[in-house]
């Protein structure tokens, strides 16, 4: 099993190119299932979850190749098996994104129910309820969601969907399903993340009629047919945020190509309050950091609030900053798995329910730690970059799921990091 060996204490200098967003590329790949015409997606990151999604759609009879320039050409004209089997879904919950488009285009879909995962129970009952409201008949049998349209119907029916909580992939499933439904669908309490906007923009290029994406109320007028398109995946705000935290922690001066300030508001505010200098430069962001930072309390919320996907990485920064602060996780019930590992490196953190109290220490010391999920792994890498001596991060397959060449990018800007 691959591990990362990090020798900490090197400031970072130079330039990093931020890849396309994992959490946009995954729904975009599923959106390509909505048409029989070829779709070209550009700027698709090379990471394990994308490889899994490509495997999932190929398994359905779709042609899809990830070219060396980062583009993927998808031809779903011969899609024959509208199914997402357990073997693939268990490794990537985002497979549930196949449900909406398959149901909309074929009137049937069989998708394994994703189980819980390291960060929480993560049920999908909102996806099921919303699609049922659009007229789908869905039963859960033998661990699978078996969905079909009632006898005599060929399309889903537009309706009003108000979810009990804001759900990102739920909103994405409804957007894709509603694009081909009959009549108007209104999504209330919709997620507003940049990845939702990216998907909506792709669907509009395919001929969908969507308004209000980027707000909590999205209106979709269903069309009978969608077409092929050529679409560039938006830059990964979480990858950019991760590199911002890494530079903030180690000190240095780095330009992040393609990073977008408008997608990182809450994170940039906290970094600036901590004492990090961040400025917009042509085509990206420049981050400069020197000396010890000031710890920042924060609470994760839906976009445009502080992202749960940045909680662990910012906590790694708080751990070595001045002062005692609180970190409150409101999205997932179990997203503090990195805490015990950070403690192994010398961090002082106490957890009380949804709140982690962090008391900044002057230094961390290298140790062997274990990655437990994707963003937890990233936080351990950041901690390793500042710890004295050697840190080994075990089980980095979690990191490979969601970061495109993270250690190569870090090495290029001066980190002493290698895969062993």
Which amino acids are annotated catalytic? 117
Q: Is 21 in the site for ligand EPU (CB under 6 A)?
A: no
127 CB contacts (<8 Å, ≥6 apart)?
96, 99, 100, 167, 169, 170, 173
Query: Which bin fits 382, alpha (ψ -120 to 50), beta or left (φ > 0)?
Result: alpha
Among 23, 219, 313, 377, binds ligand EPU (CB under 6 A): 23
Among 2, 65, 125, 230, binds ligand EPU (CB under 6 A): 125
Site string for ligand EPU, 189-228 (x = CB under 6 A): ----------------------------------------
Nearer to ligand EPU, 375 or 409 (CB): 375
- Closest approach of Cβ 145 to ligand EPU, in Å? 12
From CA 363, how far away is CA 199, in angstroms rounded?
42
- Closest approach of Cβ 89 to ligand EPU, in Å? 13
Q: CB-based burial of residue 106 (10 Å sphere; 0-12 exposed, 13-18 middle, 19+ buried)?
A: middle
Q: Which helix (H) or strand (E) segment is 141 a member of?
A: strand 137-141
Q: Are 234 and 45 in contact (CB under 8 A)?
A: no
How many positions of this chain bind ligand EPU (CB under 6 A)?
23
Nearer to ligand EPU, 52 or 340 (CB): 52
Residue 126 is labelled as binding a ligand: yes
Q: Is 168 in the site for ligand EPU (CB under 6 A)?
A: yes
Q: Are 128 and 137 in contact (CB under 8 A)?
A: no
268-304 b/e (C-beta count within 10 Å ≥ 16 → b): bebbeebbbebeeeeebbbbbbeeebebbbbbbebbe
The overall longest dimension of the chain from CA atoms, in Å, is 68
Q: Is 99 in the site for ligand EPU (CB under 6 A)?
A: no
- Pick the closest to residue 126 from 101, 103, 99, 151 (CA basis): 99
Nearer to ligand EPU, 22 or 155 (CB): 22
- Pick the closest to residue 124 from 153, 154, 148, 89 (CA basis): 89
Bridge partners of 178? none
Q: Is 332 in the site for ligand EPU (CB under 6 A)?
A: yes
Site string for ligand EPU, 228-267 (x = CB under 6 A): ----------------------------------------
Residue 124 is labelled as binding a ligand: yes
Residue 296 is labelled as binding a ligand: no
Could you say which residues in the range 25-44 bind ligand EPU, by CB under 6 A?
26
Among 94, 247, 254, 370, binds ligand EPU (CB under 6 A): 94
Q: Is 309 in the site for ligand EPU (CB under 6 A)?
A: yes
Instruction: Provide the 8-state DSSP code for 234.
Output: P
Distances from the Cα of 182 to the Cα of 47, 70, 103, 104, 382, angstroms = 36, 35, 13, 10, 49
Nearer to ligand EPU, 45 or 366 (CB): 45
87 CB contacts (<8 Å, ≥6 apart)?
none
320-341 b/e (C-beta count within 10 Å ≥ 16 → b): bbbeebbbebbbbeebbbbbeb
Name the one residue in this structure whose structure tokens are 């895969």.
419
- Closest approach of Cβ 303 to ligand EPU, in Å? 7
Residue 38 is labelled as binding a ligand: no
- Closest approach of Cβ 93 to ligand EPU, in Å? 6
Q: Is 383 in the site for ligand EPU (CB under 6 A)?
A: no
- Closest approach of Cβ 358 to ligand EPU, in Å? 21
Q: Is 127 in the site for ligand EPU (CB under 6 A)?
A: yes
From CA 74, how far away is CA 273, in angstroms rounded?
44
Nearer to ligand EPU, 143 or 283 (CB): 143
Residue 327 is labelled as binding a ligand: no
Among 374, 385, 393, 413, binds ligand EPU (CB under 6 A): 374
Q: What residues line the site for ligand EPU (CB under 6 A)?
A: 23, 26, 93-94, 120, 122-127, 165, 167-170, 308-309, 331-332, 374-375, 402
Binding residues, as ranges, are: 22-23, 93, 122-126, 309, 331
């Amino acid at each position: 099993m691959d591990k990362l060996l990090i020798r900490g204490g090197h400031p970072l200098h130079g330039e990093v190119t931020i890849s396309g967003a994992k959490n946009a590329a995954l729904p975009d790949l599923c959106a390509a299932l909505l048409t029989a015409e070829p779709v070209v997606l550009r700027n698709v990151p090379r990471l394990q979850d994308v490889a899994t999604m490509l495997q999932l759609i190929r398994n359905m009879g779709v042609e899809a190749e990830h070219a060396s320039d980062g583009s993927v050409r998808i031809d779903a004209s011969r899609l024959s098996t509208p199914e997402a089997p357990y073997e693939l879904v268990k490794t990537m919950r985002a497979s549930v994104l196949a449900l909406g488009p398959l149901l909309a285009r074929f009137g049937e879909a069989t998708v394994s129910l994703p189980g819980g995962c390291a960060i929480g129970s993560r049920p999908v009952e909102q996806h099921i309820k919303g699609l049922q409201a659009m007229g789908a008949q869905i039963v859960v049998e033998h661990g699978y969601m078996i969905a079909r349209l009632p006898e005599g119907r060929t399309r889903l029916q537009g309706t009003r969907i108000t979810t009990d909580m804001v759900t990102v992939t739920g909103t994405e499933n409804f957007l894709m399903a509603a694009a081909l439904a009959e009549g108007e669908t209104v999504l209330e309490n919709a997620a507003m993340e940049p990845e939702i906007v990216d998907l909506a923009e792709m669907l509009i290029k395919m001929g969908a009629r969507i308004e209000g994406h980027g707000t909590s109320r999205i209106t979709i007028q269903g069309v009978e047919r969608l077409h092929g398109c050529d679409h560039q995946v938006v830059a990964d705000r979480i990858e950019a945020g991760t590199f911002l935290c890494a530079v903030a922690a180690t000190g240095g001066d780095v330009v992040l190509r393609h990073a977008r300030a408008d997608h990182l508001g809450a994170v940039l505010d906290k970094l600036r309050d901590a004492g990090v200098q961040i400025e917009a430069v042509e085509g990206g962001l420049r981050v400069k950091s020197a000396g010890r930072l000031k710890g920042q309390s924060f609470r994760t919320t839906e976009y445009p609030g502080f992202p749960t996907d940045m909680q662990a990485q910012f906590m790694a920064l708080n751990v070595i900053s001045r002062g005692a602060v609180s970190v409150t996780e409101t999205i997932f019930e179990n997203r503090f798995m990195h805490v015990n590992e950070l403690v192994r490196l010398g961090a002082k953190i106490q957890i009380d329910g949804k709140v982690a109290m962090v008391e900044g220490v002057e230094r961390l010391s290298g140790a062997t730690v274990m990655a437990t999920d994707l963003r937890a792994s990233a936080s351990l890498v950041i901690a390793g970059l500042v710890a004295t001596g050697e840190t080994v991060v075990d089980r980095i397959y979690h990191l490979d799921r969601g970061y495109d060449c993270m250690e190569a990018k870090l090495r290029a800007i001066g980190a002493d990091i290698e895969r062993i």
